[in-house]
Amino acid sequence: MNYLLAKIKGQDVEFLKVMSYEREIFDIPDLSNNQVYLPSYKLEDGEWYKLDNFLSRGYENSLIGITFNSTDYNQITKKQYSKINYLCSKQGEFFLFQKMSSPSLLYKKWFQISDAPTLEIDKPIIILNNFADAVYDINGDSLYFRNIARVKSIFRGIEELYREATQAEVDAFLKQDFISLDGTFTSNNVKTANRKRIAMAIDTLNQFTQEDKKQIFQYIRSYCEDVPIDDDTFLVSTEEHLKKILYGIEQRYYTTPLGNEKRLANSILKLTKKQIQ
């Protein structure tokens, strides 16, 4: 038997039972095509991020890591459906999670396709996706997911994997000797995406020697000709200027050996010696 539970917003530990069903509630995807989670890597079609030894990481979710017993959960009431934060299906040796969002709960007139359709009014429906946002493999103690933003409210603390740079870190980064703010642009103009990139860039720069930093400056100049410079300093007046510099620090620009085309790598996956051979 498969079981569908709902986590209610504003209540730390309460899960409620929605239904039990003999057939699979969510399709269990092919998880064999997976990559260890790295903020710099963007998934290809059909790929999943994977976190091994998940229970030891301490990302809280009170459903996993305990013996599941469906009788421990009360039945959800009609008034509680609008308060669902996420759904979880227990299917064999898997927990499958779906984050609830506005499009998932529909308040529309509808009718079921049948020989005698009846118009339904004031009977909202919940849409289940074909595939869940996250899959926890009980036997393998591994979590699979595609978008960390969709699972951060399901597994408390997991957002540290893609943390944003703090305001102090942003301020310090923008005071690097190769960056000068231009016009009205300040650290307060730096949005979430670039704050995440800054957090990664700080770690990367900490591994560079002074000579490495000089080489990176020349490397960025060779690819980002539209970012203005003043001697050995980039003049940053827009978020786009900053993004291009941050991509350069991560060495995402490259030139094709055939055609000599300059390109930007959309994501980075470091190859092991075994993969290269």
Residues with Cβ < 8 Å from 180, sequence gap 6 or more?
230, 233, 234, 235, 236
Question: Are residues 151 and 201 both part of a single domain?
Answer: no
- Residue 243 resides in a domain: yes
Question: Are residues 226 and 136 both part of a single domain?
Answer: no
pLDDT for position 32: 95
Question: The domain containing residue 24 runs over which residues?
Answer: 2-105+132-161
- Please give, one letter per residue, the 3-state secondary structure of 156-206: ECHHHHHCCCCHHHHHHHCCCCCEEECCCCCHHHCCHHHHHHHHHHHHHHC
Q: How confident is the model at residue 268 (pLDDT cuts 50, 70, 90)?
A: confident
Question: Are residues 148 and 207 both part of a single domain?
Answer: no
Q: Given a cut of 70, is residue 62 above it in pLDDT? A: yes
- Residue 110 resides in a domain: no
Q: Given a cut of 70, is residue 42 above it in pLDDT? A: yes
Question: Are residues 70 and 200 both part of a single domain?
Answer: no
Question: Are residues 209 and 98 both part of a single domain?
Answer: no
- Of 121, 143, 161, the last residue of a domain is 161
- Residue 203 resides in a domain: yes
- Residue 68 resides in a domain: yes
Q: Given a cut of 60, is residue 276 above it in pLDDT? A: no
Question: Are residues 76 and 100 both part of a single domain?
Answer: yes
pLDDT for position 102: 62
In this structure, what is the dihedral angle of CA atoms 9, 12, 92, 152, given to the nearest 10 degrees?
Answer: 70
pLDDT for position 38: 86
Distances (CA, A) of 237 to 60, 66, 156, 174, 189: 41, 52, 36, 12, 10
- Residue 180 resides in a domain: yes
Give how many domains the chain has, as a whole number. 2
Residues with Cβ < 8 Å from 51, sequence gap 6 or more?
36, 37, 57, 142, 143, 145
- Pairing type for strands 142-145 and 15-21 reads unpaired
Question: Are residues 48 and 157 both part of a single domain?
Answer: yes
Question: Are residues 140 and 186 both part of a single domain?
Answer: no
- Quick check: helix, strand or coil at residue 227? coil
- Residue 122 resides in a domain: no
- Mean confidence (pLDDT) of the chain: 89
- Residue 116 resides in a domain: no
